[in-house]
A and B are shown apart, each in its own frame.
Chain A
Amino acid sequence: MDVDMIFKIAAIGIIVAILNQLLIRSGREDQALLTTIAGLIVALMMIITQISDLFSTIKTTFGL
């Protein structure tokens, strides 16, 4: 079981939240938004591969 992935995503979330707060405090709202989007995309790419793995496994298991 690959539990590390969940911790990785949580770490990305925490880092992005801290960066977001720092950038907003220093008055760079647009960069804060870009940081949030970048973190979201990184986490999404990690999840997407897992989802495609799951779907292909279901496909082969049930013969869809």
Chain B
Amino acid sequence: MSKEIFAICCVAIVTAVLALTIKRYNSEIALLISIGGAILILFSVIDCILSSVNQVNEILAKSQISSEYIEILLKVLGICFLTEFTCDCTKEAGMDVLTGNISLAGKIIVLMTSLPLFTQVLNTVVSLVSGT
């Protein structure tokens, strides 16, 4: 797994050099090259994420924690992943307004996704307060 980082660094350097070379003649294609490199790098990393997610699920199956919390956590992680990727792509294109709006949308959707957890915490607090 740790040998992947060499390949990732090589891909990043090659992509940067290619994009910089093309940028003088054709800046749109340069943007597409850098997005393609980013996708390659993410594809090589996503297998690690998959195995770690499976490990977390195994640990949870052994302990008696309910799986709905970790599901919400994973969803939030995926939303952050997508938002970060898209933010970086639009930042590369020089569209700062889009970058800001996408990160705002990601934050709002993360909040909406994790709202059931907040209500759960609130219910626990209320039950504790009413118990004493």
Q: Which A residues fall within an 8 A CB radius of B?
A: 1-3, 5-7, 9-10, 12-14, 16-17, 20, 36, 39-40, 43-44, 46-47, 50-51, 53-55, 57-59, 61-64
Out of B15, B18, B39, B78, name the residue touching A51 (CB < 8 Å).
B39
Query: When the two chains form their complex, are residues B18 and A6 in contact, meaning their CB atoms are under 8 A apart?
Result: yes
Out of A10, A12, A36, A50, name the residue touching B39 (CB < 8 Å).
A50
If A6-B18, A13-B30 touch, whether A58 touches B81 (CB-CB below 8 Å) is: yes
Q: Which B residues fall within an 8 A CB radius of A?
A: 7, 11, 14-15, 18, 21-22, 25-26, 28-30, 32-33, 35-37, 39-40, 42-44, 46, 49-50, 53, 71, 74-75, 77-79, 81-82, 85
Chain B, residue nearest A21 (CB): B25
Main secondary structure of the interface of B (DSSP, over half): helix
Out of B25, B40, B71, B79, name the residue touching A17 (CB < 8 Å).
B25
Contacts of A55 in B (CB 8 A): 82
Tally of contacts, chain A with chain B, CB under 8 A = 98
Query: When the two chains form their complex, are residues A63 and B22 in contact, meaning their CB atoms are under 8 A apart?
Result: no
Q: A1-B11, A3-B40, A58-B78 provided; 14 other pairs, C-beta below 8 A?
A: A3-B14, A10-B29, A13-B26, A13-B30, A46-B32, A53-B39, A54-B42, A54-B85, A55-B82, A58-B46, A61-B50, A62-B74, A63-B78, A64-B78
Out of B7, B33, B85, name the residue touching A6 (CB < 8 Å).
B33
Out of B29, B35, B39, B77, name the residue touching A62 (CB < 8 Å).
B77
Query: When the two chains form their complex, are residues A6 and B36 in contact, meaning their CB atoms are under 8 A apart?
Result: yes
Query: When the two chains form their complex, are residues B36 and A9 in contact, meaning their CB atoms are under 8 A apart?
Result: yes
Query: When the two chains form their complex, are residues B78 and A1 in contact, meaning their CB atoms are under 8 A apart?
Result: no
Query: When the two chains form their complex, are residues B26 and A62 in contact, meaning their CB atoms are under 8 A apart?
Result: no
